[in-house]
Structure 1
Amino acid sequence: MPAKKYKVTLSAEERQILEKLTTTGKTAAYKMNRARILLKADQHQADGGWGDQAISAALDVSVATIERVRHQFVEEGFEAVLSYKQGQQPRVQRLDGEKEAHLIAPVATELM
């Protein structure tokens, strides 16, 4: 098995935030899963962090999800992992008022 390219190393403050997040209050499921993945993958543990297969079995998430969380943590940072990304592109309006009127006009005339 090749060495991990993206290694998770949490600071004491980040670890404390994640532990609090997973043990108290109401938290979104995606955020809870990501927090648990980061806690298990942390290299600053006594055993050096869990492997992806062990995390996958323990948390019932796919290995691909674990790899994505690791990658996002290393590339974008702690806050990015715990925030939900909205769609990047705005929705394109396909019909304007005039086109919509032409679309609805035949139906409106039948109802009269």
Structure 2
Amino acid sequence: FAPLEGWRHVAVRERRTAVDYAHILRDLADTHFQEAERIVLVQDNLNTHRPASLYEAFDPAEARRIAERFEWHYTPKHGSWLNIAECELSTLARQCLDRRIPDRGKLEEQTRAWEIPRNQGGTAVKWRFSTEDARMKLAHLYPQIS
């Protein structure tokens, strides 16, 4: 999910392995964002979400090439970027996955049918939590200067 661009892509896989994750990253780098000089990747701390996953899937030169395309950022457990991704997943669940889907082919068809109009509509996230908001809300975390 690229929240500021209003773009998302759902990849249906049999499992969630490190190798599956590596193939998703290669797809992002070489297909969806091939023109980007650097891709900012904000993600959770799942054990497969590491550059090392690329080395499990590809030869070292290919893994390094892909890894260098990304700027890696890991969110804290309650990070607001992670909340944005979870909101998008919740929307997917409510609008697309709220029923029994009999097989993988049908699941791919349904997620594509959900994804395309959302991308065409450019459904983006409006970031509302500014630095000033953070300073007010999280004032107890800032040191008091006398």
TM-score by length of 1: 0.28
Give the greater-gyration-radius structure (CA).
1
Structure with greater proportional strand content: 2
